[in-house]
Amino acid sequence: MESIRKNDDFRLCYQQGRSCANRYLVLYVRKNGTDTSRIGISVSKKVGNSVVRHRIKRLVKESYRLHEKEFDSGSDYVVVGRRSADGASYQEIERALLALMKSTGSMNR
C-alpha cells in the first residue's frame, strides 16, 4: 500500500478528482497514470484531539488495506474524515469507505 504524502498530490486530487461524501467520510478519486494506487488520509483538527484523529486514520487505513484488491489500480484516493466519524466503530467506517468506492465507480466488478 502506497501513501500520498506531498501536499501537491493532495491538492491535485482535490482539484481534479471526482468526489463523493457520506456521513463519516469524503472521498476524492483521481487517475494517476501508473499501475499502482495510492491513498492519502486527512482528518482536520476540528474533528478532535490527536488520539481521535489518529484512530480515524487507522480505521480508514485498515479498511483500505483489507479491500485493496477490490479497488481499481492506477488511482489516487484521498479520504477526509468528518466530525461524525468521531466515535464511529470500525464496521461503520468500513461500510462508509466501501459505499463511497462503489459510488465513485472505483470498485472492480
Dihedral sign computed on CA atoms, order 15, 21, 24, 30? negative
Q: What is the pLDDT along the chain (109 residues), one digit of tens a residue?
A: 899 999 999 999 999 999 999 999 999 999 988 889 999 999 999 999 999 999 999 999 999 999 988 888 889 999 999 999 999 999 999 999 999 999 988 777 5
Task: Indicate the pairing of strand 18-21 with strand 38-43.
Answer: unpaired
At 95 the pLDDT is 96
At 40 the pLDDT is 96
At 44 the pLDDT is 94
- Note the pTM of the prediction, 2 decimals: 0.92
Write the CATH number of the domain with boundaries 2-102.
3.30.230.10
At 1 the pLDDT is 81
| For the chain, domain boundaries | 2-102
CA distance between the termini of the chain = 21
Q: Are 4 and 13 in contact (CB under 8 A)?
A: yes
